[in-house]
Amino acid sequence: MKIIFAGTPVFARVALERLLAAGFQVPLVLTQPDRPAGRGMKLQASPVKQLAQEHGIAVAQPRSLRLDGKFPEDAAQAQAAIAAAQADAMVVAAYGLILPQWTLQAPRLGCLNIHASLLPRWRGAAPIHRAIEAGDAQTGVTIMQMDEGLDTGDMLLIEREPIRPDDTTASLHDRLADLGGRLIVEALEAAACGGLHATPQPAEGITYAHKIEKAEATIDWTLPAAVLERRVRAFDPFPGAVTACGGEAIKVWASSLVAPTRQASPGEVLAVDDSGIVVATGDGALSLTALQRAGGKRLPVADFLRGFPLASGQRLG
């Protein structure tokens, strides 16, 4: 089968690697335009583009696919490239652009999406983050036949993955990326012999995983400790959980639930030692075990305290 691949970040690169390893022909890759990155803010190709170039695959980077939108020339060039590829299907994974109807209908088998949730739960942009933040016990990957809605298409394959108590978005992302790569190969192999069957999504249980905003990073110490512990894990690696202390913004990268040793107002430091900085919350207490100063590195709490001493009674936030 000939496959057009549309994706941008590492999650998508893993899927493209699996497709190439399985022997699928990929004549064309669509990915987001190069973006400034790093300290020098130099233009950097996406992980998917880098892999495509390593394999000599043609790359298109339209700013939009809407023929009547802001960048009609980009869309027209992409439409010509898609038509020339004569692909059987398009695989879409964390691409970042809306696919208009002409795109969905271009390949013979349409467009198949790798979505990192158990649809219809967590439709939208940040399903991994939101599943951890909500305290879900499990998530997974759904291979979906794309339509014009937001992750509303029929389900083709689905597999579950438990969320571990210590999972961060980074660790869960990596497992789901591997799972997505395996499932899309299975789906396309089934499609090649007519063995792929579509199931409409349930009408109940729909939730939306809204995009993670930087403003969400600020820790609200009036919230329960259990909520904050999940957010610390959900916001690793982006945007990080941040609290103010001594005029500095401190990132909290790891924490654990502990019983408060005394009554205190939210944000008050209850105890400090090399095992953790215990902070009162709106309900319970949180022990901070890995932290980072602006411009510094992530450090275990014992190392952090050597350069940034704290004492019981101080206030965070």
Is pLDDT of 8 > 80?
Answer: yes
The reply to whether domains 2-209 and 214-307 share a CATH topology is no
Superfamily of structural domain 2-209 = Formyl transferase, N-terminal domain (3.40.50.170)
Is pLDDT of 312 > 90?
Answer: yes
Q: CA-CA distance, 90 to 104, in Å (whole number)?
A: 8
Question: What percent of the chain is modeled with pLDDT above 70?
Answer: 100
Q: What is the pTM of this model?
A: 0.95
pLDDT category, 72, cuts 50, 70, 90? very high
Segment (H or E) for 244:
strand 241-245
Q: What residues does each domain of the chain span?
A: 2-209, 214-307
Tokens for 9, please give them: 């970040």
Q: CA-CA distance, 301 to 106, in Å (whole number)?
A: 54
Over range 172-197, report the average pLDDT.
96
Q: pLDDT digits over 103-144, tens only? A: 999 999 999 999 999 999 999 999 999 999 999 999 999 999
Is pLDDT of 99 > 90?
Answer: yes
pLDDT category, 234, cuts 50, 70, 90? very high
Is pLDDT of 220 > 90?
Answer: yes
Q: pLDDT digits over 235-286, tens only? A: 999 999 999 998 899 999 999 999 998 999 999 999 999 999 999 999 999 9
pLDDT category, 75, cuts 50, 70, 90? very high
pLDDT for 16:
98
- Compute the C-alpha angle 93/96/99, nearest 5°: 85
Q: Which burial class, exposed, middle or buried, applies to 303 when counting CB atoms under 10 A from its CB (0-12, 13-18, 19+)?
A: middle
pLDDT for 194:
87
pLDDT category, 40, cuts 50, 70, 90? confident
Is pLDDT of 211 > 90?
Answer: yes
pLDDT category, 37, cuts 50, 70, 90? confident
Mean pLDDT over each residue of the chain, to the nearest integer: 96
Q: Which burial class, exposed, middle or buried, applies to 213 when counting CB atoms under 10 A from its CB (0-12, 13-18, 19+)?
A: exposed
pLDDT for 142:
98
Over range 201-230, report the average pLDDT.
97
Cis upstream peptide for 239 (omega within 30°): yes
Architecture of domain 214-307: Roll (3.10)
Strand-pairing partners, residue 143, are 114, 157
Is pLDDT of 150 > 90?
Answer: yes
Strand-pairing partners, residue 25, are 2
